Structure 1
Amino acid sequence: MSRSRKFVSLGMFIIDEFAFLDYAGNPTGRALDPQEGIGGGGTYANIGARLWLPPSETGMIVDKGIDFPPEIDAALKAYGEDMWLFRDQSPAGTTRALNRYKGDHRGFQYLTPRLRITPSLSRPATLHFICSPTRAAVIVSQVAQVEDWSPISVYEPIPDRCIPEELPALRDVLPLISVLSPNAEEALALLADPSPVSKSSIERACKSFLDFGVGPGGTGSVVIRSGSLGVYVASRSQSGAWIDAYWRTEGRVVDVTGAGNSFLGGLAAGLVLTNGDVFEAALYGTVSASYTVEQLGLPKITRTSEDVRNEEWNGDSPWGRLHELKARGIRAG
C-alpha cells in the first residue's frame, strides 16, 4: 500500500458463520447467502471509508486462507481491487467466527486464531484500529518510530476489553490518539457507570474522557456512537454536539452489525475531506452507517465512473444523503 492512502484499517477480515435458533434453542432453518458472511470490523470500516474515497485511497489487509470462497473474493473486488491487500495464509484457513443467534440475542466467538496486523505496511493519512488499550499503546508506539508520519488515529476499543480494569491503560494511551470512539454501552462500562444509556449519561461519559486528556495537549476528540440516539461529538476546543442517526425510523434498519465500524471508516474519510473537522466528519460517518444497516451484510455498489461522486450505493447517492444530513444541522449537547 502506497503513501497515497488516505485511510487504512488495522482491523481484521473475518468470514462469519451463522447459527439461527429459536428461544428454545432449536434450529430455525434460516440460511444466508455466502456474501453475507463477509465480516470483520476492519472490513466494515474500510467500506465505510470507501463510500467517500476511491479504492486506491483506502486499504486493509485480508488474510486469505486456502478455504477462501471465490464468491467472497469476487464480492470484495467489486468495490475496487486496490483497496484490499490479500496476504496468502495457505495452507492455514481464513479467520472465521460464529455468530449464534438465539431469538434476538447474538453471541460471537472466534473459530480460528486471530492474526494481528501492524501499522508498518503503509503511512496513510488516517489510521483506524480496534483493540485493547494495551494493544493500542503498542500500535501508537510503532507509528511513532516511523519517520515522517503523523497520522490521524481513530481508536475503537474492542468490546470485550471495555471494562473498568482497562481504564488505567486507556488513560495512559489517550494522550497519544486523535479520536476515541467507544459506543455508549462501552463508554459507560469503562467508567463503571451503572446509569442507563441516555443522552445525559453519554454526555457525562464524554466529558470524563476529555478530562483525562485525549490527544497531544488535550487536542483530540471523543465520539460516542449511540445507536438510535445518534452520535455525540466533543472536543476540548468546542462544546459537544449531537448528530441524529440518518434513519430515525426502524423501517429501514435491517441489521446493525458493522454499523459502528462503518461509521468510523466514514468519519476517518471525513476527517481527510474536511481538513480535520471532527463535527462535520461525523456527518460522513453517519451516512456510511446508514448504508450498512439497510441489509444483511455489506451494501451494494454501482460503479459508473472513476469519480466516487457518481457512484451509487444501494441505488442511492451518499453525497445526496450527506447534503440532506447537513440540512438537518448539528445540535448542541
Structure 2
Amino acid sequence: MASTKTFVTLGMFIIDEFSYTDTEGRTTRASKSEASSHLARQIGGGGTYAAIGARIWLSPEQVGMIVDKGYDFPSEIEDKLKTYGEDMWLFRPQKEAQTTRALNLYTGDHRGFKYLTPRIRITPRDLVNTTLDRPKMLHFICSPSRAFVIVSETKDLEDWNPIMIYEPIPDKCIPEELPALIRILPSIDILSPNAEEALSLLSIPIANPISKTSVEEAANRFLELGAKDAVIIRSGEMGAYVLTRKGVGKWIAAFWTNTDLPKIVDVTGAGNSFLGGLAAGLLLADGDVYEAAFFASVSASFVIEQSGLPAFTSSADGSEQWNNESPLRRLEALKRREGL
C-alpha cells in the first residue's frame, strides 16, 4: 500500500503524568493544588509533539503516527487528538495492555522521566500495509543501538528510501553509546541531539552556559565521524546550529528567547516539534535544510507557550491558526528579524 504521507514518526504516544517536589523532596504544586488539573494527566510522547510540529505546516493527510490505544485509553484524549485531523492518527487497539504512561518528575530545576507501564515499541514494519506505509520522511527517537535496528529494518523494505531524521534519547547520550552512533551515522540524513546531549556523547566539557563554539565543534565532529548529510544541534534560546556536509554552519534563531519569558511556559516537546517542523520545512523549501530550520523554529514556538499541545482552530475559509496566530506570519516575522 503506497502512502501519501510526507512525515511519519515512530515515536510512541504517551499519557504524561507529573510530580513536582523541591530539592528536599517536599511535594509542591502538581501533587497538591493542581492534582486534578490538566497538568496531572496530559497528552505526551516525543512522537506526538513531532507530529504536531509537522501538522502546523502540513495537512493531516501528510502527517502520520501510530497511537496504541490500551484498554484504559481516555475518550477525551482521543477526541483531543482528532481535533488536529483524524487522518493523522492510526489508532491501534491494545485490548490486553494499558496505554503507555510515564511520570515526569520535577525536582527543583531538574527533570526526570520514567515509564509507569511497559512500552509498546513501533518499528518500520508496523507501517507496512497501512495508511502510513513508506512515507517520504521517517522520524525516530531512541538509543543509538535501537536506531541501528530501525535503520536495518527500513533497508529491508523494498522501494523505500526515506529521509531519516534521528534524535537520540537523552539518557543514552553518553560516551559509551558513541560507537553505536558512529555505526549508523552514514545512514542518518539528519542527526539532531540538543546541545547538552551532543557534548555529552562526544565527551566535550559542558560549561554553564554552553557556548556556541562548543556546539559548533560538536557538529563538526559528528560530520567527521560520518554523519551522512546534516547535523542540527538544538540549543534552546541560542537557536539551532545547522551544518551540512555540502555547506557552511549557520545559526538559526529561536523564535522565543529568555527575553520573552512570559511566552515561555513549558519547553516539554519543543525539540520534538522542532524536528516535525523541520520535516515540513524540507518539503516546503525544496530540501533546503537551512530554510527548513526556520519552519522548525516556528513550530517549537507554538509548543512552549503552554503546558501540553498548542490550541488549533480552523476558519470557514480553510485558514488555520495555532494559539490564535498564523504560522506563516510568525515565519515572516522571524525572517525579518534575521534580516532575510
Tell me the TM-score range normalised by the shorter chain: over 0.9
Q: 1:34 to 1:193 in 2, by over 3 A?
A: closer
Displacement of 1:239 in angstroms is 0.6
**Alignment partner, residue 270 of structure 1:** 281
**Distance in 1 separating the partners of 2:96 and 2:184:** 37
**Distance in 1 separating the partners of 2:275 and 2:41:** 21
**Distance in 2 separating the partners of 1:13 and 1:279:** 29
Q: Does 1:10 align with 2:10?
A: yes
Q: 2:72 pairs with 56, 64, 67, which one?
A: 67
Q: Does 1:27 align with 2:27?
A: yes
**Distance in 2 separating the partners of 1:271 and 1:305:** 28
1:148-167 correspondence to structure 2 within 5 Å: 148-167=159-178
Give a deviation string over 1:89-148, Cα, whole Å, max 9, x none. 113110000112223322211011111111131111110000111111111111112222
Give a deviation string over 1:55-81, Cα, whole Å, max 9, x none. 111010001011111111111011011
**Alignment partner, residue 110 of structure 1:** 115
Task: Provide the identity percentage.
Answer: 61
Q: 1:208 pairs with 210, 221, 224, which one?
A: 221
Deviates more, 1:263-272 or 1:319-328: 319-328
Secondary structure of 2:298 counterpart:
helix
Secondary structure of 1:127 counterpart:
strand
**Alignment partner, residue 288 of structure 1:** 299
**Alignment partner, residue 145 of structure 1:** 156
Q: Does 1:319 align with 2:328?
A: yes
**Alignment partner, residue 173 of structure 1:** 184
Letter of the 2:180 partner, please give it.
A
State whether residues 125 and 272 of structure 1, in contact with CA within 8 Å, keep that contact through their aligned partners in structure 2: no
Give a deviation string over 1:129-188, Cα, whole Å, max 9, x none. 001111111111111122221111100011111010111111110001100000000000
**Distance in 2 separating the partners of 1:303 and 1:268:** 22
Secondary structure of 2:90 counterpart:
strand
Q: Does 1:91 align with 2:100?
A: no
Computed over aligned residues only, the root mean square deviation of the Cα atoms, in angstroms, reads 1.6
Secondary structure of 2:26 counterpart:
coil
Q: 1:235 pairs with 234, 244, 267, which one?
A: 244
Q: How many residues align?
A: 325
Displacement of 1:258 in angstroms is 0.4
State whether residues 34 and 72 of structure 1, in contact with CA within 8 Å, keep that contact through their aligned partners in structure 2: no
Q: 1:61 to 1:306 in 2, by over 3 A?
A: farther
Secondary structure of 1:203 counterpart:
helix
Displacement of 1:36 in angstroms is 5.6
TM-score normalized with structure 1 length:
0.94
**Alignment partner, residue 204 of structure 2:** 193
Secondary structure of 1:319 counterpart:
helix
Q: Does 1:244 align with 2:253?
A: yes
**Distance in 1 separating the partners of 2:150 and 2:25:** 41
Letter of the 1:137 partner, please give it.
F
Displacement of 1:54 in angstroms is 0.5
Q: Does 1:222 align with 2:231?
A: yes
Q: 1:169 to 1:228 in 2, by over 3 A?
A: same
**Distance in 1 separating the partners of 2:4 and 2:22:** 48
**Distance in 2 separating the partners of 1:35 and 1:62:** 20
Unaligned segments of structure 2, at least 5 residues:
128-132
State whether residues 35 and 71 of structure 1, in contact with CA within 8 Å, keep that contact through their aligned partners in structure 2: no
Unaligned segments of structure 1, at least 5 residues:
none
Displacement of 1:305 in angstroms is 5.0
Q: 1:164 to 1:305 in 2, by over 3 A?
A: farther
TM-score normalized with structure 2 length:
0.92
**Distance in 2 separating the partners of 1:22 and 1:213:** 43
Secondary structure of 1:155 counterpart:
strand
Secondary structure of 2:54 counterpart:
helix
Letter of the 1:145 partner, please give it.
D
**Alignment partner, residue 267 of structure 2:** 256
**Distance in 2 separating the partners of 1:244 and 1:304:** 30
The list of structure 1 runs, each at least 4 consecutive aligned residues, that deviate by more than 3 angstroms after superposition, is none
